[in-house]
Structure 1
């Protein structure tokens, strides 16, 4: 490596570090405890590395009685969807706003999910951080919007 390349690479680290630390990996999510959330979309970030929704969650949230019986779409990854829906529980924490991390835009397009707008009602089953520590963030496994359900782990089967 030439000296000028090394200088450039070293000088670039402070600029790249916030980007690298700002995004977390999926291993920090508790995939043994699916949670259910619903609410009204307050903010949308429709961009990569994945789309994000900030939702306002109503007080007294309960898992819908029919959740475990909802039909789920086939997808290319093996996912025990009925098992996840049957085990879904509301979070123990009582935050009124949650960030929902969706899939990358290419996968959202494969599912034909139209860009979700603020004010939309959504619900989701997914995973939050282990022991529900940290920010109120859910990695969405199944997204329910406008009477449709999308499996966001992979592409449609």
Structure 2
């Protein structure tokens, strides 16, 4: 490979990588934070990496809100989010997708909370937000993760 070609490749690859990262990462402003969505299902795929961990979740066609959702205990550190109000307003999605892309928090925050690495086959429950109007891909940005009998607040860090 000629020196000019090596230089061209070394300049193009980082830009291409950044473009794919930007496409995969979604900021909070894209999500409808007025309509908390509840999902529960089996993890099909887990990617435990930065900028945030991601799951592929398969939900039941008969997905419904659990009777005890509004009474679930939440970590005290998440009080500024008003999780109890979110749990009380939670709904199941209007869309009927069975597979969802799940965006969790960055690994440093997951580690600070002591969230065990979630693997394919695990069953989890989630409360979060979809794109405004549930348009676009079936993506959920997670506010609360319920796994292993515990609740984790993923937007904040533990005290």
Q: Give TM-score scaled by structure 2 length.
A: 0.88
* CA distance, structure 1, for counterparts of residue 35 and residue 18 of structure 2: 33
Is the Cα contact below 8 Å between 2:78 and 2:153 reproduced in 1?
no
Aligned-residue RMSD, C-alpha: 1.8
Of 106, 126, 129, the match for 1:127: 129
The aligned counterpart of 1:112 is: 114
Q: Which runs of 5+ in 2 are unaligned?
A: 1-6
Q: Which runs of 5+ in 1 are unaligned?
A: 1-6
The aligned counterpart of 2:58 is: 56
SS in 1 for 2:116: coil
Change over 3 Å in CA distance of 1:14–1:94 after alignment to 2? same
Of 135, 140, 143, the match for 2:142: 140
Of 7, 32, 35, the match for 1:33: 35
Deviation at 1:15, TM superposition (A): 5.0
Is the Cα contact below 8 Å between 1:42 and 1:56 reproduced in 2?
yes
SS in 1 for 2:91: coil
* CA distance, structure 1, for counterparts of residue 123 and residue 36 of structure 2: 20
Change over 3 Å in CA distance of 1:136–1:111 after alignment to 2? same
Between Structure 1 and Structure 2, the one with more helix by share is: 2
- The number of aligned residues is 151
* CA distance, structure 1, for counterparts of residue 41 and residue 95 of structure 2: 15
Alignment of 1:5-44 (within 5 A): 11=12, 13-44=15-46
Is the Cα contact below 8 Å between 1:77 and 1:154 reproduced in 2?
no
Change over 3 Å in CA distance of 1:147–1:20 after alignment to 2? same
